[in-house]
């Protein structure tokens, strides 16, 4: 357990990706970067979420392999919104401790649009087809190449 | 591991649990976080040690760029930070440590602002970069406007009487008919690909790598290169597309002084921004004679049309930061990048009486005189920003001098000219359409269906 009085170290905050050396790590990061939208759309397929909860779900579902930082997450969400793949609305959050003297805080909720759902289905199909093809190819290559 | 503890974790260090609200941190902690966020948002990035090595565009980046996180974005990031602080508290972090970590994880505010702006502006900008098509029916007041994809615009108004053709892409203008001298069987590093492509054109390469690296694009970014013999223009477009995908921002090619340059479009925009005075006199005169509009409202309509159609996202009145327009007398002063000036000049050319004459001739009497009972009024109401049609209707003026609009009800239009009808309809629908663009078409003009 880290010492809570100290700022978190890089290891504590992340990166949460497994250590992959050299070009392997770079290739892995490039592949992941191209899948961020798939992760986010997939999370939203389960129901509306706000930004932090999306990041948290992605992190949990990838068993800590993927952490969407705010610098990645919010531009991505805003682009998905601009493309009509997700819609968003604001909700005022009033905590139990709010004494009425403070203005309610706002939280932006994202939900998958019909267009986004179609895109998710397309991306999922394409990803599975691609994964299967590459895996099949590599396994045959490995057998053929000894 | 501090990241993302279980939602069921027991709170420590006084972290509250308040059910659905979830991130209510309490007054003191909320205030501390708010202060930290305000400092983060206003934090001026200190001049880096290597400032003397930076290109002018970065070294002189305007302060406004640093602070252009709008309130909605700030609220969203604050909610994120609040939730993050709460999670860190649940994981046992101290208050100060949790706040510091949450703020640090937000990254640099200026970087985030640029990324967000690019994310929101990219789709429409890219669309406009490739195609900008408009039909000009009968001048400004009788104009049906369509925007859409590359081909197959299927408006019901027949072929457009005039079409704005985007200037030849920079790739095509740079590369001409040249073909790639040699290709690659596998992915190559972007830097090498550029050298190879430029070599095919007998050009050198100019790339401000430090600028691109600010946005995560390095020289060793791997790209696919087509085989030898591929037209260089297509190769440049392909490379630009791959770089744009990685950056999330538009890039362009520029060729000067024997160098092929790859740069962010926003950098080229800033480089080519100029102030131009456009003379509107003949257009204003024509609008006055034909539609009875005074000089000021006519000029306002011209400005509205230009700023809503020519790269709309980039105008200051629409939240952009690249272009602005002001009218003084009969002059419209426009500060904008070259590509926007091209569009403005084309649009104004279409509004000149000579260009308008053919279309205007098709109009019947009502446009030259006031509308009377029994005249057909054809109205298209759209949203300026989205160009989505709210409604398109044909209505004959009733004996009581009114036409009936859906939702709005009866509006008196008898005795009015086109411009006046547009004005009263605009006012009437203002409650229902956020940025109304109202167009009254002539009786023999078919309504143009929005192609989006």
Interval B238-265: pLDDT, tens? 888 889 888 888 888 887 777 888 998 8
Q: Is the pLDDT of residue B42 over 80?
A: no
Say how far apart CA A123 and CA A83 lie, in whole Å: 15
For A84, nearest residue in chain B (alpha carbons): B123
pLDDT tier at B386, thresholds 50, 70, 90? low
pLDDT in tens, B317-328: 877 888 999 988
Contact yes or no for B420/B426 (Cβ under 8 A)? no
Q: What confidence score (pLDDT) does residue B371 get?
A: 77
Burial (CB count <10 Å: 0-12, 13-18, 19+), residue B332: buried
Per-window interface: A 115-144 vs B, CB < 8 A: none
Report CB contact under 8 Å: A75, B83: no
Q: What confidence score (pLDDT) does residue B103 get?
A: 87
Q: What confidence score (pLDDT) does residue A26 get?
A: 66
Say how far apart CA B174 and CA B253 lie, in whole Å: 8
Q: Which of B340, B297, B287 is nearest to B128 (CA)?
A: B340
Residue B382: phi and psi, rounded to 5, are -135, 170
Q: Is the pLDDT of residue A124 over 60?
A: yes
B144 compared with A144, residue with greater pLDDT: A144
Q: What confidence score (pLDDT) does residue A99 get?
A: 54
Contact with chain A for residue B86, Cβ under 8 A:
no
Q: What confidence score (pLDDT) does residue A101 get?
A: 54
Highest mean pLDDT among A20-24, A128-132, B70-74, B122-126: A128-132
Average pLDDT over residues B397-415: 80
Burial (CB count <10 Å: 0-12, 13-18, 19+), residue A44: buried
Contact with chain B for residue A24, Cβ under 8 A:
no
Highest mean pLDDT among A13-17, A20-24, A26-30, B448-452: A26-30
Q: Is the pLDDT of residue B412 over 70?
A: yes
Q: Is the pLDDT of residue B78 over 50?
A: yes
Q: In what order do the strands lie in the sheet containing B331-336?
A: B274-279, B331-336, B324-328
Say how far apart CA B250 and CA B126 lie, in whole Å: 7
Say how far apart CA A54 and CA A40 lie, in whole Å: 7
B73 compared with B125, residue with greater pLDDT: B73
Contact yes or no for B386/B396 (Cβ under 8 A)? no
Q: What confidence score (pLDDT) does residue A67 get?
A: 87
The distance of A14 to chain B (nearest Cα, Å) reads: 8
- SS3 state of residue A93: strand
Beta pairing class for A105-112 and A86-93: antiparallel
- SS3 state of residue B393: strand
Distances (CA, A) of A31 to A66, A135, B290: 12, 15, 60
Angle between helical axes of A70-82 and A51-61 (0-180°, round to 10): 110
Length of chain A: 146
Instruction: Read off the tokens for A80.
Output: 């998905």
B408 compared with A12, residue with greater pLDDT: B408
Q: What confidence score (pLDDT) does residue B325 get?
A: 92
The distance of B431 to chain A (nearest Cα, Å) reads: 21
pLDDT tier at A41, thresholds 50, 70, 90? very high
ipTM for the whole predicted complex goes beyond 0.90: no
Say how far apart CA A53 and CA A43 lie, in whole Å: 9
Long-range contacts of B274-278 (CB under 8 A, 24+ apart): B274/B335, B274/B336, B274/B338, B274/B341, B275/B333, B275/B334, B275/B335, B276/B333, B276/B334, B276/B335, B276/B336, B276/B341, B276/B344, B277/B331, B277/B332, B277/B333, B277/B334, B278/B331, B278/B332, B278/B333, B278/B334, B278/B344, B278/B345, B278/B348
Residue B377: phi and psi, rounded to 5, are -110, 125
Q: Is the pLDDT of residue B378 over 60?
A: yes
Contact with chain B for residue A95, Cβ under 8 A:
yes
Q: Which residues of A touch B101 (CB under 8 A)?
A: 7-8, 13
Average pLDDT over residues A38-46: 94
pLDDT tier at B43, thresholds 50, 70, 90? low
Question: Which distant-in-sequence residues (6+ apart) come within 8 Å of A10 by Cβ?
Answer: none
Contact yes or no for B66/B109 (Cβ under 8 A)? yes
Average pLDDT over residues B152-169: 43
Contact with chain B for residue A102, Cβ under 8 A:
yes
Say how far apart CA A79 and CA B120 lie, in whole Å: 5
Q: What confidence score (pLDDT) does residue B425 get?
A: 85
Q: Is the pLDDT of residue B70 over 70?
A: yes
B441 compared with B336, residue with greater pLDDT: B336
Report CB contact under 8 Å: B116, A30: no
Length of chain B: 452
Q: Is the pLDDT of residue A13 over 60?
A: no
pTM above threshold 0.80: no
Q: What confidence score (pLDDT) does residue B68 get?
A: 54
Percent of chain A with pLDDT over 70: 69
The distance of A30 to chain B (nearest Cα, Å) reads: 9
Report CB contact under 8 Å: A105, B78: yes
pLDDT tier at B51, thresholds 50, 70, 90? very low
The distance of A143 to chain B (nearest Cα, Å) reads: 23
Instruction: Read off the tokens for A110.
Output: 């994202």
DSSP-assigned states of every residue in B252-319: EEEEETTEEEEEEHHHHHHHH-EEEEEE-HHHHHHHHHHH---HHHHHHHHHHHHHHHSSGGGBGGGT
Report CB contact under 8 Å: B118, A16: no
Q: Is the pLDDT of residue B421 over 80?
A: yes
The distance of B130 to chain A (nearest Cα, Å) reads: 17
Contact with chain B for residue A28, Cβ under 8 A:
no
Contact with chain A for residue B385, Cβ under 8 A:
no
Distance from chain centroid for Cα B211: 22
pLDDT tier at B388, thresholds 50, 70, 90? low
| Mean pLDDT over the full length of chain B | 69
Percent of chain A with pLDDT over 90: 26
Q: Strand pairing partners for A87?
A: A111
DSSP-assigned states of every residue in A57-84: HHHHHTTTS----HHHHHHHHHHHHHTT
Burial (CB count <10 Å: 0-12, 13-18, 19+), residue A124: middle
Q: What confidence score (pLDDT) does residue B134 get?
A: 26
Q: Is the pLDDT of residue A6 over 70?
A: no
């Amino acid at each position: 357990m880290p010492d809570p009085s100290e700022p978190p170290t890089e290891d504590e905050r992340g990166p949460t990706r497994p250590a992959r050396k050299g070009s392997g790590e770079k290739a892995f990061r490039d592949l992941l970067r191209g899948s961020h939208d798939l992760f986010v759309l997939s999370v939203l397929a389960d129901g509306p979420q706000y930004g932090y909860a999306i990041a948290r779900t992605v992190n949990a579902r990838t068993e800590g392999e993927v952490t969407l930082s705010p610098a990645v997450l919010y531009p991505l969400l805003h682009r998905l919104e601009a493309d009509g793949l997700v819609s968003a609305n604001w909700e005022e959050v009033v905590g139990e401790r709010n004494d009425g003297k403070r203005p309610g805080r706002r939280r932006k909720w994202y939900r998958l649009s019909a267009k986004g759902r179609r895109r998710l289905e397309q991306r999922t199909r394409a990803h599975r087809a691609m994964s299967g093809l590459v895996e099949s190819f590599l396994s045959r290559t490995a057998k053929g190449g000894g | 591991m501090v990241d993302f503890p279980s939602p069921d974790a027991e709170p420590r260090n006084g972290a509250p649990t308040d059910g659905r609200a979830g991130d209510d941190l309490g007054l003191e902690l909320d205030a501390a976080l708010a202060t930290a966020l305000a400092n983060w948002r206003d934090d001026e990035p200190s001049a880096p040690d290597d400032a003397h090595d930076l290109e002018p565009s970065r070294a002189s980046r305007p302060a406004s760029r640093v602070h252009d996180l709008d309130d909605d974005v700030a609220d969203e990031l604050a909610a994120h930070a609040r939730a993050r602080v709460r999670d860190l508290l649940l994981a046992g972090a101290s208050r100060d440590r949790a706040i510091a970590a949450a703020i640090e994880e937000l990254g640099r505010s200026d970087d985030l602002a640029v990324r967000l702006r690019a994310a929101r502006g990219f789709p429409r900008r890219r669309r406009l970069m490739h195609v900008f098509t408009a039909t000009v029916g009968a001048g400004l007041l009788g104009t049906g406007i369509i925007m859409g994809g590359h081909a197959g615009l299927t408006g019901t108004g027949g072929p457009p009487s005039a079409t704005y053709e985007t200037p030849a892409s920079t790739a095509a203008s740079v590369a001409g008919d040249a073909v790639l001298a040699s290709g690659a069987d596998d992915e190559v590093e972007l830097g090498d690909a550029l050298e190879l492509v430029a070599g095919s054109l007998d050009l050198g390469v100019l790339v401000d790598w430090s600028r691109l690296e600010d946005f995560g694009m390095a020289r060793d970014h791997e790209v696919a290169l087509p085989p030898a013999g591929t037209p260089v223009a297509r190769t440049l477009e392909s490379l630009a597309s791959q770089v744009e995908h990685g950056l999330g921002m538009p890039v362009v090619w520029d060729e000067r002084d024997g160098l092929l340059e790859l740069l962010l479009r926003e950098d080229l925009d800033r480089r080519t921004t100029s102030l131009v005075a456009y003379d509107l006199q003949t257009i204003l005169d024509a609008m006055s004679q034909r539609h009875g509009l005074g000089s000021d409202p006519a000029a306002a309509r011209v400005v509205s049309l230009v700023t809503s159609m020519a790269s709309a996202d980039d105008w200051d009145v629409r939240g952009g930061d690249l272009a602005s327009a002001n009218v003084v007398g009969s002059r419209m002063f426009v500060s904008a990048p070259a590509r926007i000036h091209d569009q403005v000049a084309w649009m104004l050319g279409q509004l000149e009486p000579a260009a308008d004459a053919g279309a205007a001739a098709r109009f019947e009497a009502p446009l030259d005189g006031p509308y009377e009972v029994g005249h057909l009024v054809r109205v298209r109401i759209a949203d300026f920003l989205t160009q989505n049609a709210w409604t398109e209707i044909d209505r004959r003026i009733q004996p009581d001098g009114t036409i009936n609009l859906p939702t709005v009800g009866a509006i008196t239009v008898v005795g009015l000219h086109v411009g006046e009808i547009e004005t009263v309809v605009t006012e009437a629908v203002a409650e229902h359409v956020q940025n109304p663009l109202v167009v009254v078409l002539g009786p023999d003009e078919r309504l143009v269906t929005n192609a989006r």
